[in-house]
Amino acid sequence: MKKYFLLILITSSISFIGCKENKTISGLWEIESVSVNNQTMTPIARWMQFNADGTQISGNGWYQHSYGNYEYDINSKTLRVENTNSIKDPYEAFTVKIENNRMYWTRLEDGNSVEVKLKRTDNLPKAPSDEIIGVWKLKTLEGDYNFFMKDSISLKNDYIFFRWDLKFVAGTSTGKEFGVYNVNAHKPELELIPYNKSLDRSFWKFEFDENILSLYLLNSDTLVTRKFIRTDEFPK
């Protein structure tokens, strides 16, 4: 249960117990890398903001999901960690090293060496889950799967709308389909879960090229792709 606690801490919620003001750690930090025994486990667009009054907020991309306090001992260079809105940290404090605009945390968790590298930043990092929000009009497709099929009507009118509340609407030539979606916190993969039980749950690799969104179906014996272009209106 305790194994790799930092991974749970980073990908779900992080908070720190309050302490006296320490200006050296105050500010906004983006997590550049997380490793456990040299195995990379870096979350996408993870950030933390330490305030001078001992409070902190944290999240991924433009989404803040954690809050709490922190305790940094400038003499011992240690950071005490405990969750306010999640599980309690059962391990010892992190040893902290700050060099210019970078910060390094290290500690052992059940004999495993944990290392975290952060960089100071002025802006929240943008995550793929932020970029995917909006209306996307179907541009090209290859292979049949779920909503979008190979016909001339689809290429004129079909679209997918990713809402901020993690729900999606697929507008197709046969009507609308609704569901929820999930973006992987560690890699550019998208899970689509339709409410319609006759449609399969699916996993897609995705990438952006300016205003083009490309989806590639995973775990498929044949090539299935969907390319969309961002639009500011629903196709009619």
> Over the stretch 135-150, which tens digit does the pLDDT of each residue have?
999 999 998 787 776 6
Strand partners of residue 214: 207, 227
CA distance 117 to 97: 10
pLDDT confidence of 115, banded at 50, 70, 90? very high
Class of domain 128-231: mainly beta
Residues 6+ apart with CB under 8 A from 146: 170, 177, 192, 194, 199, 200, 202
Model pLDDT, residue 22:
38
Residue 173 contacts residue 151 (beta carbons within 8 Å): yes
Residue 46: Cβ within 10 Å count: 24
Max Cα-Cα span within the chain:
69
CA distance 43 to 61: 10
Model pLDDT, residue 153:
55
| Alpha-carbon distances, residue 141 vs 94, 161, 204 (angstroms) | 49, 17, 14
DSSP, res 75? T
> Over the stretch 34-90, which tens digit does the pLDDT of each residue have?
999 988 888 899 999 999 999 989 999 999 899 888 999 999 999 986 778 888 888
Any idea where the domains of the chain sit in the sequence? 5-120, 128-231
pLDDT of residue 21 exceeding 50, the answer is no
> Over the stretch 163-172, which tens digit does the pLDDT of each residue have?
999 999 999 8
Query: How is domain 5-120 classified at the CATH fold level?
Result: Lipocalin (2.40.128)
Has this prediction a pTM greater than 0.85? no
pLDDT of residue 235 exceeding 50, the answer is yes
Burial class (CB in 10 A: 0-12, 13-18, 19+), 141: buried
pLDDT of residue 10 exceeding 60, the answer is no
Angle at CA of residue 88, ends 77 and 123, nearest 5°: 60
Residue 228 contacts residue 171 (beta carbons within 8 Å): no
pLDDT of residue 12 exceeding 50, the answer is no
> Over the stretch 91-107, which tens digit does the pLDDT of each residue have?
889 999 999 899 999 99
Model pLDDT, residue 23:
46
Q: Which of 111-120, 150-159, 209-218 has the lowest mean pLDDT?
A: 150-159
